[in-house]
Amino acid sequence: MSSRSRLLVLTFLMEGAVLIAALVLAGLCEIALLPLTENLLHDILIGTYGALFPLALFVLVLSKRAEAIPLLRSARKALITEIKTIFSTAGLIDICLISLFAGFAEELLFRGVIQVKLGIVAASIMFGLLHCITPVYVVVATIIGFYIGILYYLYQSLLIPIQLHFIYDFGALIYLRYFVSK
């Protein structure tokens, strides 16, 4: 199996498990995950613009200036040596599909179920732990999870976090794959 095929299979297995967990837990907790939105264009725009803050944070962590900050240096190194390597064979369509599936599955679980049942802090911490690349990245992902959770709380639309997560993952992976050198 090629590394590209392995990446796609592993991603879809992992995100598929997250999606199944979200659907099962939503059913057990009697949480309605649909409809995702009542205002499609509005929520897509908020989710898209909302992705700018976490994308800026991601670019900061990957910048050469991050080398001067010990905490960011470890996150930068891990992203470049591990994540960039994992996605080195992924094409644009692969990255788009992975980002879409991750955004959909993870946000249904973390915002649609966990935040609804346990609150924004618990959902944000669990979200951060799922993205355990380095201890610093767990903190960054937890902050991003909290930010996404606030948007969900304010607008009560699952489409906003799904769109934001998709745009963030897509932009971050494109940036890392094509514009960051080791």
Per-residue pLDDT, averaged over 54-64, amounts to: 93
Per-residue pLDDT, averaged over 89-97, amounts to: 97
pLDDT class of 106 with cuts at 50, 70, 90: very high
> Which single residue is written with the structure tokens 């200036």?
65
> How many other C-beta atoms can be found within 10 angstroms of the C-beta atom of residue 80?
15
Does residue 126 contact residue 44 with C-beta atoms inside 8 Å?
A: no
Q: Residue 134's pLDDT is what?
A: 81
Q: Residue 136's pLDDT is what?
A: 84
Does residue 163 contact residue 44 with C-beta atoms inside 8 Å?
A: yes
Report percent pLDDT > 70 for the chain.
99
- The Cα 32–Cα 37 span in angstroms is 12
User: Nearest-CA neighbor of 124 among 147, 146, 92, 104?
Assistant: 146
Token code pair at residue 172:
């971050």
pLDDT class of 75 with cuts at 50, 70, 90: confident
Per-residue pLDDT, averaged over 58-71, amounts to: 90
Residues 152-174: tens digit of each pLDDT: 999 999 999 999 999 999 999 99
User: Nearest-CA neighbor of 106 among 148, 137, 72?
Assistant: 148
Q: Is the peptide bond before 54 cis (omega within 30 degrees of 0)?
A: no
Residue ranges per domain, the chain?
3-179
Which residues 6+ apart lie within 8 Å of 133 measured at CB? 75, 78, 79, 82, 83
Per-residue pLDDT, averaged over 83-95, amounts to: 94
Residue 182 pLDDT exceeds 90: no
Which residues 6+ apart lie within 8 Å of 162 measured at CB? 36, 47, 103, 104, 107, 108
